Amino acid sequence: MRIEEIKAELSDILGVRISEDLGAEIADRLISVISERLKPESPEDLHKMTDPQWVVLAAGRGTRIDPESLLNKNIDIWFGESNVLQLALRHLPGTRPPIIVVNPQMKERIESEGSERLIGREAIIAVQEIPNGTGGALIAAAEMLEGIEADLIGIAFGDEPFLERDMFLLTLVDHIIKGADITLCGKSPETVIGKGGLFFDESGRFIGTREWAEMSDGEREEMMRRFERGEGYTNTGLTIAKRIEVLRRLERLKPHLKGELHHVDLVRIFYEDGLKTNAYIHLSPVPPGVNRWSAVMEGESRIFQANRKEFLERGVRLDPDVRITAEPGYRIGRACYLLGRVHIGAQVRIGNYCRIENSILTGNTRLGDRVGLKEVVAHNTAFDSNPIYPPLGEPIYGVKVLSRIVNCRFENAIVRQGVKLRNVEARYTVIPSGVNLSNLRLGRWLREDMALDLLEELVEGEYKPGTPLPCRPGDPGEDLIWRSTRNPKLAALVRQNLRDLMEMEWIEELTVQELRGIISEIVRLTTGNPDPYLAEKRMLRKEGFKFVEEAKGEKELRGIIRALDTSRGNVLILSDREGDAVEDIWLAGKLAEMGYRVVVAGKECPVETCVTAEELLEIRCRMGVEEISVISSGSRMPGVNLFQAGGELLNALLEADLVICRGRDNLETTEKLKKRRIFLNPICPSIRH
């Protein structure tokens, strides 16, 4: 390979700009050694020679962090979006997935919670079954190392998140330049007392390390003398070595005082065998690993300090007590003001004159101009820009924002301009411009939103509220818009909001019924019309009363009675359209006269022509049926959504001996219910929606 080819390929392997990041002198020496001594003939050769297989030791139980070892120091301590282990992995030079050595409990966590969440990158997992030290961890990875095409291995630690990239990079580069068989990274400590020291022979060859507790009096005196001369180096554990030579010598590791094997003892074994040993001394300060809470606090303070400097350089105003975590890649506009605890993800884009206080922004989140967030969590959410005009400052508040959003959570949502939101949670939806909302949950509901988590008791298998969308939905049509408003401006806003909803990437995750409910909600918020189908519903109610007066429900009543046990049990009727609701109340009254305990459930709010609980009460009052209970199903969509259900409906479902599902939507959304069900069609064709 030509020198320029080596430079380009090596830059890709190490993830650096060779001359700029290493400095011209070191870069020239490195390229010279590779081209003249290693002599790679192809990029594959160069990868084999210089791309190390990292082994990350992360099996420690961290008893000084948590004596019960329930909180894992590697995967349970987070700094922004990254945990300790993920931060420890970020600076490893090379392209190969690391081998991570974990304990059995940590392996179970990774399998149950997912490698993507806990590790954050491709990795190979090895298990150290017994806690027998760093040498034991390396032995646990030996079988995997046997089958890897790499000349070098690197050994690092999973609980050292605060080390700089230069330390890993320069240790590797020094190893290659020196042509060593093994290189250990040392440091200049504040004291050598209680530390593992590095020892050299009379010719200056690196012999190996020895723990302070295992040193003789003479060795301790030697360490103290060297320390006074500025040559007392201690061990960091970071190691680069030839893979084949390590594998040949692992069995020669001997236990120390506590029965543990130490991987750094390989240096002494290499020395005894006449192989070339090397100590690279990293002169910059080396922060401690996460072995005590004090180290966590020190490291976190360094992160906050570095981020404060970066944001100030970008022209951002910072509160004196602000604490920021941020992932590389974010963008932020001019004259923004950050306060409290703030996290900004890599893909986040923030406009101008924004105020962000105690908020977490992740995923593909976009803040337009003059957006104010306080106590907000937002993921994959777009906040529209507001107009920029004076005044831009405001007493006390600092920045005069036009969208004020407090104590809210958003996921996969669009928030239009000029809104005032407080205590709002929104997923998979569009919040219209200019609204003033508080204490609401909008869009899609999830299991975590349930009033009582009784899902296992109620349904079989995985639950979804409705049927999957057969294909990506198109335009929802003009009918609903026409019913909601005749104002051209409002109609245009509705069209835009619904168009943006349909174009969202995640739309296909919704069920048919969920999407219909969200569309109704967006139209209601945009136009202010709470019930676009009110006139049609009242017409259907009249038809329902006519149907009952003609005594056409006797056949259905007999079918219901046959489905019930002879004992007088509990019946839950899930009502659907308003015309059907009249017969539902009539059926409920008849069953109640026969001794059954009957509950009829309607929607929480208007959706299409569905009957609400409030409207059911009106119908019951008119019909004089007092022996039955009317409740809200909690649903804000056609059918039943158990995630939206209140305690009343969940309790009624648990106690029901028979569930009567009126209409196709109620049937499809209760498909996996662990209850006997009867399906009732709409009472006449004119009422079918």
Domain ranges of the chain: 1-50, 179-239+257-282, 314-443, 455-527, 534-687
pLDDT band of 688, cuts 50, 70, 90: very low
Alpha helix locations (H) across 229-288? 243-249, 265-272
Q: What's the whole-number mean pLDDT along residues 312-334?
A: 96
- CA–CA distance, 545 with 312 (Å, rounded to integer): 70
pLDDT digits (tens, 9 = 90+) for 77-121: 999 999 999 999 999 999 999 999 999 999 999 999 999 999 999
Element (H, E) at 456: helix 455-458
- pLDDT score of 362 more than 70: yes
Quick one: how many helices (H) and strands (E) in the chain? 24, 29
Which pLDDT tens digit goes with each residue over 428-448? 999 999 999 999 999 999 999
Q: Which of 556, 549, 638 is nearest to 602 (CA)?
A: 638
pTM flag (> 0.85): yes
- Give me 484's structure tokens: 């909601």
* Residue 441 bridge partners (DSSP): 425
Dihedral, CA atoms, 533, 535, 538, 542, nearest 10 degrees? -120
Residues 384, 400 contacting (CB under 8 angstroms): no
Half-sphere exposure (Cβ direction) of 561: Cα atoms closer than 13 Å: 13
CA atoms within 13 A on the CB side of 199: 22
What pLDDT is recorded for position 555?
67
pLDDT at 687 over 50: no
For the chain, the C-alpha Rg in angstroms (whole number) is 34
Helix (H) or strand (E) holding 264: none
**Quick one: CA dihedral 113, 118, 122, 124, positive or negative?**
negative
Overall average pLDDT of the 421-429 stretch: 98
pLDDT at 689 over 60: no
Write the burial class of residue 211 (CB in 10 Å: 0-12 exposed, 13-18 middle, 19+ buried). middle
Q: What are the CB-based long-range contacts (under 8 Å, 24+) for 486-493?
A: 487/527, 490/526, 490/527, 493/432, 493/433, 493/526
What tens digit of pLDDT does each residue of 102-114 get? 999 999 999 999 9
Closest CA to 348 of 80, 77, 119, 113: 80
- For residue 470, the model assigns a pLDDT of 82
Fold of 314-443: UDP N-Acetylglucosamine Acyltransferase; domain 1 (2.160.10)
Sign of the Cα torsion 139, 144, 149, 152 reads: negative
Q: Which of 295, 401, 418 is nearest to 353 (CA)?
A: 401
**What are residue 644's phi and psi, to 5 degrees?**
-95, -10
User: 298: which 2 tokens?
Assistant: 């020190």
Averaged pLDDT, 540-552 = 84
Cα–Cα distance, 236 to 186 (Å, whole number): 5
Strand-strand pairing, 398-399 and 393-394? antiparallel
Average pLDDT over residues 561-581: 82
CA torsion 237→238→241→244, rounded to 10°?
A: 70
pLDDT at 225: 87
Q: Rounded to whole angstroms, what are the CA distances from 241 to 52, 197, 341, 615?
A: 9, 19, 42, 77
Predicted confidence at residue 194, as pLDDT, reads 82
What pLDDT, in 10s, does the model give residues 463-497? 999 999 887 666 666 888 889 999 999 999 999 99
Task: Check residue 533 and give its pLDDT.
Answer: 93
Six-digit token string for 303: 């992160």
pLDDT at 547 over 90: no
The fold adopted by the segment(s) 534-687 is: Rossmann fold (3.40.50)
pLDDT range class, residue 567, cuts 50, 70, 90: low
**pLDDT exceeding 90 applies to what percent of the chain?**
81
Mean pLDDT over 592-600 rounds to 93
Quick one: pLDDT band at residue 14, thresholds 50, 70, 90?
very high
Residue type, 263: H
User: Residue 329's closest CA among 353, 355, 368, 361?
Assistant: 361
Three-state SS across 291-309?
A: CCHHHHHHHHHHHHHHHHH
3-state SS assignment for residue 59: coil
Structure confidence by residue, pLDDT tens digits, 646-674? 999 999 999 999 999 999 999 999 999 99
Q: Which of 402-406, 494-498, 542-546, 563-567 has the weakest average pLDDT?
A: 563-567
Low-confidence winner among 238-242, 334-338, 476-480, 660-664 (lowest mean pLDDT): 476-480
Question: Which pLDDT belongs to residue 193?
Answer: 86
Quote the CA–CA distance of 265 and 196 in Å, as a whole number.
11
Domains 314-443 and 534-687 agree in fold: no
